[in-house]
Structure 1
Amino acid sequence: MTTLTRRCLGRMLGLGAAGIAAPARAQGAWPNRPVRLIVPFGPGGAADTLARVIAQPFAQVASSGSLVVENRSGGGGTIGGSAVATARPDGYNLMLADMGPNAVGKELIPALSYEPLRAFTPIIHLVNLPLVLITRADLGVSDVPALIALAKSRRQPLTYAAPSVGHPTHLADELFLSQAGARSEPVQYRSGAEVLRALVAKETDWAIISLSSALPFIKEGKVKALGVANPAPIAALPGVPPIAATLPGFEATTWHGIAGPAGIAPELAMRINEVFNAILERPDVRETLVRTQGAEFVGGTTEAFAAFVRREAERWVPIIRAANIRAE
């Protein structure tokens, strides 16, 4: 065999190997088919809106596939959590992570079939959504100290509205009462929209709720904003101080991220993380989520999100136990 023949044969074998290897790489790439994103709450709320905003550019950012949003509400988010916890860890079954199903669900529902801190692979912390303390417009208080004084002076307790038992805003309500040393009776509703309706209708006295839901009602004078749950003021509510100005250290937020079933390979988790980090960097995504939800963007690594979820569980479980909150 001549040198030229050997070289030609080598090239042919090399091209043949490349031809075999290329399809194998393509087959193993993520994503090469639609990815399911379970939102553990109903359509139309803040979580659903967030999911649909990040789903729009997914195919472009990932260069293939699509992100299909599926609502699985119920059980404070644990119905959707259960569906993902038992799914294959192949990267095609993800969820919009939330405090209830991903951090404290077992404390709220002792019979829950999975353990939140072990059942999932945390992928990325997407956003924090600011909360605001509001009252019905005619309650007669103008700031947080006045609300606390009124709650302490009343023989008949004030009532606060919460969108469901164990919802992050419900836990924020109880944290507020615990730090204020005041009493109030909870009234449970099915959504943030119902909480606002109840305040406008004077069925309840106060609530801590997402800024995105409350802002139109605040601007129209239908409810009164007393304080924000962020440690610093929020640009969307100039002149409304942090609750922490009255109760030092007070801080609460609703947060969302992306998680998948436990057992996702680290390399795959990193790839998914890279895609969602890139989505968060898009100006169109940022503009929409800031305008509609006042979102604070986080991003970062899988390890950072895992550590954050553990800290949230450690922080809120004592509040749940002290208030004897059960979602069953």
Structure 2
Amino acid sequence: MQGKSLACEAIRRQSPMQRRDFARAAALFPFAGAAWAQTPAWPQRPVKFILSQPAGAGPDILARYVADQLGKSWPQPIVIENRPGGQNVIGAQAAARSPADGYTFYYATTAAMVTNAFTFKALPYDPVKDFVPVRLVGRSPFVIAAASSFQAKDLAEVFAKAKAAPGTITIATEGPKTFSGMLADSVAQMGGVKFNHVPYTKATDAMQDVIGGRVQLVCLPDAALTAYLKAGQVRGLAISTAQRQADLANVPTLAETFPGFEYTGWNGVFAPAGTPPDIVARVNRDLEAVLKQPEVTQRLLALGSIAEQKMSVPEFEAFMRGERERWAQVVKTLGITAE
């Protein structure tokens, strides 16, 4: 109490001008303290999305569109950085080694975050430990199709031909240990047959050979096949989603032949491990707002991706756990060994 009395006495002895200055300082002090304690608003500078695919590839087109829409709600732009090569390894490694400061994200596909772990003996990144899931963007169906000249109107007739002449049915894929290759082998195994893979690095090259009759079947993302299907150059035999898709309503689902079967690729956003949780939550919420817009949904569908309109961070984490478990079973069933 004595200290308080001495302080009050000191204030009374100040001149009127000194007392006014003291009052002004006291009034300003709380605001100054709040400013010191406040975290700077995010983002303060451009945000980067790293991709494992080259510019112009399907995932790149999707990522640029999503980034453009997402950037409209942020005061800073989103920059796309393409790091292709090594079956997604180069881009994934670059993203994993980036600072976990909320300014670098990895726009990834199934291969980099799930299947690579089963097809490579060693990876320079850990899909589980090096990243945190942010938001699933969309799912990408795959289609199995045949050249219009190929004498099989559905999967049942394909299986019949393969059984009548074992080893003669060829299928264009991205390779036996890729998403499309493992889908093709899963379908063949369920049908009791075997397809011979003809691997391609470019979808356009694969389609030229299928249309020309040099390869009988093709298994690729529907975005790569839709134009050819609508032009009547190839015939859709099955799509990998659980339900038929509006833009390819005449193509039956694999589930119609094999009940319960669903096998889709996907694309999503991940952050380097250690990224602040509040920034991860913010990006998840902002992406959800974008993906709920009807015009965005329609555009993604045209690009071959079915927008995921609702998925929280915990839900995406659970989704990823399920994907790893599912793919572990697929790889085991097909007898695929890591190299």
Q: Provide TM-score, normalisation by structure 2.
A: 0.88
Q: Structure 2: how far apart are the matches of 1:247 and 1:18?
A: 62
Q: Structure 2: how far apart are the matches of 1:266 and 1:120?
A: 12
Counterpart check, 1:195 vs 2:233: no
Deviation larger for 196-205 or 135-144: 196-205
Please give the secondary structure, in 1, of the residue aligned with 2:122: coil
- Residues 168/86 of structure 1: CA separation in 2 closer, same or farther (3 Å cut): same
Deviations 1:119-159, CA, capped at 9 Å, x for gaps: 21111111012222101221100011111211222133311
Cross-structure match for 2:51: 39
Asked which structure has the greater RCO (Cα within 8 Å, sep 6+), the reply is 1
Q: Which runs of 5 or more residues in structure 1 are unaligned?
A: none
Cross-structure match for 2:193: 182
Cross-structure match for 2:29: 13
Contact 1:61 1:279 in 2 (8 A): no
Q: Which amino acid aligns with 2:145?
A: I
Deviations 1:87-121, CA, capped at 9 Å, x for gaps: 22112221112111111212111121222222211
Counterpart check, 1:129 vs 2:140: yes
Alignment of 1:306-321 (within 5 A): 306-321=317-332
Cross-structure match for 2:3: none
Cross-structure match for 2:97: 86
- Residues 294/58 of structure 1: CA separation in 2 closer, same or farther (3 Å cut): closer
Alignment of 1:1-328 (within 5 A): 1=11, 5=20, 8-21=24-37, 24-26=38-40, 29-62=41-74, 64-293=75-304, 295-325=306-336
Displacement after TM superposition at 1:18 (Å): 4.0
Displacement after TM superposition at 1:324 (Å): 4.5
Contact 2:167 2:195 in 1 (8 A): no
Please give the secondary structure, in 2, of the residue aligned with 1:116: coil
Contact 2:118 2:338 in 1 (8 A): no
Q: Structure 2: how far apart are the matches of 1:241 and 1:155?
A: 25
Q: Which amino acid aligns with 2:303?
A: T
Displacement after TM superposition at 1:214 (Å): 0.7
Q: Which runs of 5 or more residues in structure 2 are unaligned?
A: 1-10
Q: Structure 2: how far apart are the matches of 1:220 and 1:9?
A: 76
Q: Which amino acid aligns with 1:46?
A: G
Q: Structure 1: how far apart are the matches of 2:338 and 2:148?
A: 30
Q: Structure 2: how far apart are the matches of 1:165 and 1:142?
A: 25
- Residues 174/156 of structure 1: CA separation in 2 closer, same or farther (3 Å cut): closer
Contact 1:130 1:229 in 2 (8 A): yes
- Residues 171/301 of structure 1: CA separation in 2 closer, same or farther (3 Å cut): same
Displacement after TM superposition at 1:169 (Å): 1.9
Q: Structure 2: how far apart are the matches of 1:192 and 1:85?
A: 29
Aligned residues: 323
Q: Structure 1: how far apart are the matches of 2:44 and 2:31?
A: 24
Q: Provide TM-score, normalisation by structure 1.
A: 0.90
Deviations 1:197-219, CA, capped at 9 Å, x for gaps: 22112222212221221111011
Q: Structure 2: how far apart are the matches of 1:214 and 1:87?
A: 35
Q: Structure 1: how far apart are the matches of 2:184 and 2:206?
A: 13
Larger radius of gyration: 2
